[in-house]
């Protein structure tokens, strides 16, 4: 039963569509926020959103999601607040996480238990061409308690029972998915154990959000020794920044992010990861050709085990990136940038400590 459910198969259910893609499907210059030419949905966007809307009509989600009230909080950080009451009340309670190295528990909820029809696509890159080996196939499944229209999970083979510790093959597949979308607000992210992961079974989140975020454009400064790692200050949650101008750099980028994340876990720190289209680390126009690539942010944080009863919201990858899904109308109406930043930054290390850690990571990646 588990194997069939994880593949989206069951009585009367077709297998998920095998979405085969190649280099020609990557949207190297995604649409901008001003509706520039080329802003039509990609083949990937059309397939994902059509399947997602079909499952919504069939009642496979925990609630019906319509347009959500959204506002940008006054202030330099341009935090995007969004009211989603039903996600706050209807989502499955997060699993109890007690350790950064907690093993997978087949008795707890996991993605082998997905209901028939919850899997939309099987992403598979066509081989050949003499380049790097393609990433492992990924299942694209609905998140039954969605943040926004098109919110999905990206899953490596669920039957392997891998815990929620980021791997380079999974991240590379997620970054390729980001390049398959033409939408400027398609983002991919990862919540680690101790970083508000709610299911200890390896997965990425991917979702569409129709607002730009400061983390996509804020300039970063390189860390010593100079290389591929930068430090991104001046954003809601200061982060370590990795960047790839196009698909050729994704394999090395994914490997470096995972090496850095493993170092954080070894140091007793939790982490979150967020990938989005964005400017080069030096800012708009700083890269070759002046185009945008993929920014990948890595946050180091003090581990949090269990929800805080006094917290207005949990701080996971969305909140760290400046996107605040809020569960209550009064909070949505009244929260200020200063209040949100206090809630977000209490989980982070002081900036001098982050900078020292960043230089350690830069040396590790340069070795």
pLDDT (tens digit, 9 = 90+) per residue, 133-158?
A: 788 899 999 999 999 999 999 999 99
pLDDT at 148: 95
Q: Is the pLDDT score of 1 beyond 50? A: no
Question: In the annotation, is 203 catalytic?
Answer: yes
Of the segments 35-39, 66-70, 311-315, which one has the largest average pLDDT value? 66-70
Is the CB of residue 16 less than 8 Å from the CB of residue 48? no
Residue range 345-365: mean pLDDT, rounded: 95
Nearest to 274 by CA among 315, 217, 321: 321
Q: Dump pLDDT digits (tens) for 262-271.
A: 999 999 999 9
| Whether the predicted pLDDT of 103 surpasses 80 | yes
Locate the domains of the chain by residue range. 2-366
Class for the domain spanning 2-366: alpha beta
Tell me: pLDDT of 310 over 80.
no
pLDDT band at 7 (very low <50, low <70, confident <90, very high): very low
Tokens of 116: 């028939």
- Between the alpha carbon of residue 144 and those of residues 82, 256, 345, the distances in Å are 18, 32, 29
| Phi, psi torsion values for 143, nearest 5 degrees | -90, 115
Q: Is the confidence at residue 31, as pLDDT, over 80?
A: no
**Active-site residue, selected from the candidate residues 151, 183, 201, 203:** 203
Contacts of residue 85, defined as CB under 8 A and 6 or more positions apart, other chains included, come to: 327, 328, 329
Sheet holding 80-83, edge to edge: 70-72, 80-83, 323-326
- HSE at residue 288, side-chain half, CA atoms within 13 A, is 4
d(CA 133, CA 143): 29
- Can you give 16-78 as a three-state secondary structure string? CEEEEECHHHCCCCCCCCCCCCCCCCCHHHHHHHHHHHHHHHCCCCCCCCCCCCEEECCCCCC
Is 321 strand, coil or helix?
helix
pLDDT of residue 35: 55
Nearest-angstrom CA–CA distance, 315 and 307: 10
Do the Cβ atoms of 135 and 169 come closer than 8 Å?
A: yes
**Lowest-confidence region among 179-183, 290-294, 349-353, 357-361:** 290-294
Distance CA(96)–CA(100), nearest Å, equals: 12
C-beta of residue 151 within 8 angstroms of C-beta of residue 91? no
Residue 230, classed as helix, strand or coil, is strand
- Average the pLDDT over 347-365 and give the result: 95
pLDDT of residue 352: 95
d(CA 206, CA 222): 28
Cα end-to-end span (Å), the chain? 46
Q: What is the pLDDT of residue 292?
A: 87
Residue 128 carries which DSSP code? -
Indicate if the pLDDT at residue 9 is higher than 90.
no
More confident residue, 96 or 209: 209
Query: What's 231-288 look like in SS3?
Result: EECCCCCCEEEEEECCHHHHHHHHHHHHHHHHHHHHCCCEEEEEEEEECCCCCCCCCH
Residues 186, 278: Cα–Cα separation, whole Å: 11
Q: How far apart (Å, rounded) are the C-alpha atoms in residues 365 and 367?
A: 6
pTM score, whole prediction? 0.93
Evaluate whether 25 touches 44 at the Cβ level (below 8 Å).
Answer: yes
Reduced to 3 states, what is the DSSP secondary structure of residue 343? Answer: helix
């Amino acid at each position: 039963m588990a194997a069939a459910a994880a593949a989206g198969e069951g009585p009367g259910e077709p297998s998920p569509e095998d979405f085969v893609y190649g280099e020609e499907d990557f949207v190297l210059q995604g649409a901008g926020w001003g509706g520039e030419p080329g802003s039509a949905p990609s083949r990937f966007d059309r397939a994902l959103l059509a399947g997602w809307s079909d499952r919504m009509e069939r009642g496979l989600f925990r609630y019906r999601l319509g347009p959500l009230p959204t506002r940008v909080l006054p202030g330099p950080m341009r935090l995007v607040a969004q009211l989603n009451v039903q996600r706050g009340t209807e989502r499955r309670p997060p699993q109890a996480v007690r350790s950064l190295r907690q093993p997978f528990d087949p008795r707890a909820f996991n993605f082998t238990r997905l209901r028939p029809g919850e899997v939309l696509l099987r992403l598979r890159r066509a081989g050949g061409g003499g380049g790097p080996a393609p990433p492992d196939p990924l299942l694209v499944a609905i998140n039954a308690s969605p943040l926004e229209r098109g919110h999905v999970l990206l899953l490596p083979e669920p039957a392997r029972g891998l815990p929620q510790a980021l791997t380079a093959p999974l991240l590379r597949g997620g970054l390729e998915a980001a390049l398959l979308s033409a939408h400027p607000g398609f983002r991919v992210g990862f919540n680690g154990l101790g970083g508000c992961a709610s299911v200890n079974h390896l997965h990425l989140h991917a979702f569409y959000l129709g607002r730009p975020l400061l983390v996509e454009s804020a300039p970063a400064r390189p860390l010593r020794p100079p290389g591929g790692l930068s430090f991104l200050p001046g954003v809601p949650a200061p982060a370590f920044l990795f960047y790839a101008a196009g698909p050729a750099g994704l394999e090395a980028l994914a490997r470096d992010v995972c090496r850095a994340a493993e170092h954080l876990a070894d140091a007793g720190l939790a982490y979150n990861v967020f990938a989005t289209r964005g400017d080069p680390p030096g800012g708009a126009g700083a890269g070759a050709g002046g185009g945008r690539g993929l920014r990948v942010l890595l946050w180091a944080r003090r581990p949090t085990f269990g929800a805080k009863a006094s917290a207005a919201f949990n701080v996971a990858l969305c909140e760290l990136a400046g996107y605040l899904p809020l569960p209550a109308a009064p909070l949505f109406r009244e929260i200020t940038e200063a209040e949100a930043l206090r809630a977000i930054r209490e989980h982070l290390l002081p900036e001098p400590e982050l900078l020292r850690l960043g230089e350690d990571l830069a040396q590790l990646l340069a070795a």
